[in-house]
Structure 1
Amino acid sequence: MSRVVAAIELYLDVDATRRIKTLWRSLEAEGVPTMAGLLGNRHRPHVSLAAAHRLDPRAVEAALDGLRVGAGLTLSMDFSGQFVGRVLWLGITPTEELLAHHRTVHERLAAAGVEVWDHYRPGRWVPHCTISMRVPNTQMSHAVRRCIEVLPLHATVTGAAVADHANDIHHPLP
């Protein structure tokens, strides 16, 4: 990945994490690079609520003070999708609870002056768990089929952090 990305990441329960890591390993064995191999294996399965080139972990924490980010959310991954640029992901069914939590996070970030990318803002965000940032075009249909094989996948959010893997930042959020 050529650009630096910082994100507010939601982490998944042990079973969902294990299933996604198994998918990553399966795809890697078949020559499809996944999140597992990016930036020295620092990634773990997650859902990003917000992203930007940089996020100041302390500013994010202050903006979200008193909010237990992601606490109690249950996520249902029921489909697979692609973004332009060969990005493959598992899609999360957007529930009222998830969208309301996402909106609250963004309202607090905006009030504190924390800038995020437009495509992560409420009304534009596509809830997803990234599987690969660079699927070879010739392997996309095979990789999508592999993703569908693990669905449906249900997950409980177990934690959150501000993460910037390229700069070795991992700041857990309360």
Structure 2
Amino acid sequence: MGAALELYFDGVAERRIHVLWNALAAAEVPTLRQLSRRHRPHLSLVGAELLDAPTVAKALADLPAAPPLRLSFQYAGQFVGRVLFLGPAPSTALLTHQAAVWRRLCEAGIELSELYAPGVWVPHATMSMRVPRPVLAEAIRRCLEFLPIEATISSAAVVDHKRDVRVPLP
């Protein structure tokens, strides 16, 4: 999966996550910023092998990609493969918006990853893609020290990191 519809956070929340990334890097935990300077703190609503930005924009024509939803990151978690993330408390507004985006994109014929299907999707902001085992406990501890993080969704983009594409959405 190389493409996603990413939601970005307000400046205060984004700066707090950048400080957390610095703390993780100091503990020898590779962060998203180290993978690419283009990575921003974000929450992915959907993921796919390919996403065509004009098709996504057309499918969401009367549905804002980035409504000003409030998020409260309350916990740190880990996916298989030592992927470290921060999780927001799941709100009805967030889950409803994600399901609506999923439905619209599927109706437009866009093939999405089943990991992002409503009822399966785990809302998260990735901190590290592969935490080294010897520092995993320290990485989680550092994340917990920064919580909670309050954020407001401020913008969105269709992003394909494999192809170095980022197209902001209205």
> What is the alpha-carbon root mean square deviation over aligned residues?
0.9
* 2:125 counterpart SS class: strand
- Alignment size in residue pairs: 170
Matched, 1:89 2:56: no
Where in structure 2 are the equivalents of 1:1-174 lying within 5 Å?
A: 5-38=2-35, 40-174=36-170
* 1:22 counterpart SS class: helix
Runs (5+) with no aligned partner, structure 2: none
For normalisation by structure 1, the TM-score amounts to 0.95
More displaced, 157-166 or 79-88? 157-166
Whether the 8 Å CA contact 1:9–1:48 is kept in 2: the answer is: yes
Runs (5+) with no aligned partner, structure 1: none
Matched residues in 1 for 2:13 and 2:161: separation?
Answer: 21
- Alpha-carbon deviations, 1:17-65, whole Å to 9, x = none? 0000111111112211000111x31100000000011111111111111
* 1:24 counterpart SS class: helix
* 1:88 counterpart SS class: strand
More displaced, 57-66 or 144-153? 57-66
1:106 CA drift (Å): 0.7
* 1:167 counterpart SS class: coil
- Identity of aligned pairs, percent? 51
